Structure 1
Amino acid sequence: MSRERRVRVLYDEQSIAKRTQELAKDIAVQEPTDLLVVAVLRGSFMFAADLIRALHREKLEPQVEFMHLSSYLKGTTSTGTVTILKDVDSNVEGRDVLLVDDILESGRTLAFAKDLLTARGAKSVKLCVMLEKPGKRQVQIQADFVGFECPDYFVVGYGMDVAHSYRELPFIGVVETN
């Protein structure tokens, strides 16, 4: 049986594409200057790539950087400690930064990254996430731009994984247990 048949679709490709373009329009309205998009690896890579292209269609010219942060290691629940596995190379001082991640759940990772970039002198740090699970928040943080509010499921696809599987799926779904 193929993996796609074992995953129930929550958000299909077309819904994700439409919502990503809407997010880009919302971001463009803010008129960011010297915009630096910082994608949090690994889960955000598909969303970040689509969002960056959508920002281009909105006449923005962001530079792109990556941070690799982890609080999950190989499990499915946060350890509560954020580790920097790869830091940004660019100077963020005085820049508008858009921090992009796949999902805002406990908030620890994004709060850590936002505080770090702010401490380094970013003019502003705004958060853009594809999914938000507001009932799971462990720290005080709100996303500025949210694709979808997600039910309390462990989701896969569109860059998100379980033990490094399912990232390649072009939609967001839930692995069926039966």
Structure 2
Amino acid sequence: MVDKTSLKYVTWDEIHKALAVLSRRVKETFKPDILVAIAKGGYIPARILSDFLNVGEIGFVEIKFYKEIGKTRERPVVYQFSLRNIEGVNALLVDDVVDSGRTLQTATNLLSNFGAKEIRSLAIYVKKWSPVLPDYYWEVSDKWIVFPWEICETAREVGGGNLPPEVGVVEHCY
């Protein structure tokens, strides 16, 4: 079982604040034509960013690397993707967290192979040991980040009794 002190819970307010600041940084330096969410953690941040950046098109690439908290596969595996023809367009890859950077590298290579003109990346959090940094990120952490959209997933893995009371919705997870 995972020690709850190694977990960092973030709120919806923290997510919106981080993405608002990150969207301003993006606007200063890059004009994406499409946002590409790295599934599944990047879905919700990409949707919020689409509003902040006024980018109406969101694609996704589903890449599995983690088996459970702290345990990875040998290599990232692309399961599926949904993208229009991105040849010659500016793409912003969006994920919730970059840990080893291998998922981000896999997604970048995929978009490059499909002919994107320029690819930049954004993640809310980056692990302090990551050898790969996205172009835009909010905070560096050494904790396992628990996002508001994955409370039940985390509760099932660490045991609901190990979650702090402010998380609140754990009783609906079982």
Same fold (TM over 0.5): yes
Secondary structure, counterpart of 1:79 in structure 2 = strand
8 Å contact 1:95–1:123 — kept in the other structure?
Answer: yes
Where do residues 80-99 of structure 1 align in structure 2 (5 Å cutoff)? 80-99=74-93
8 Å contact 1:155–1:175 — kept in the other structure?
Answer: no
In structure 2, what is the equivalent of residue 157 of structure 1?
147
Question: What's the TM-score, normalizing by structure 2?
Answer: 0.76
Structure 2, gaps ≥5 residues long: 156-161, 165-174
Question: What's the TM-score, normalizing by structure 1?
Answer: 0.75
Higher helix share: 2
Distance in 1 between residues matched to 2:147 and 2:30, nearest whole Å: 31
Structure 1, gaps ≥5 residues long: 1-5, 167-173
Give the CA deviation at 1:160. 4.3
Distance in 1 between residues matched to 2:67 and 2:6, nearest whole Å: 23
In structure 2, what is the equivalent of residue 147 of structure 1?
138
C-alpha change, 1:41 and 1:11, in structure 2 (3 Å) is same
In structure 2, what is the equivalent of residue 79 of structure 1?
73
Higher strand share: 2
State percent identity of aligned pairs: 22
In structure 1, what is the equivalent of residue 61 of structure 2?
67
Secondary structure, counterpart of 1:91 in structure 2 = coil
In structure 2, what is the equivalent of residue 119 of structure 1?
113
8 Å contact 1:44–1:159 — kept in the other structure?
Answer: no
Residue 132 (str. 1) matches residue 132 (str. 2):
no
In structure 1, what is the equivalent of residue 41 of structure 2?
43
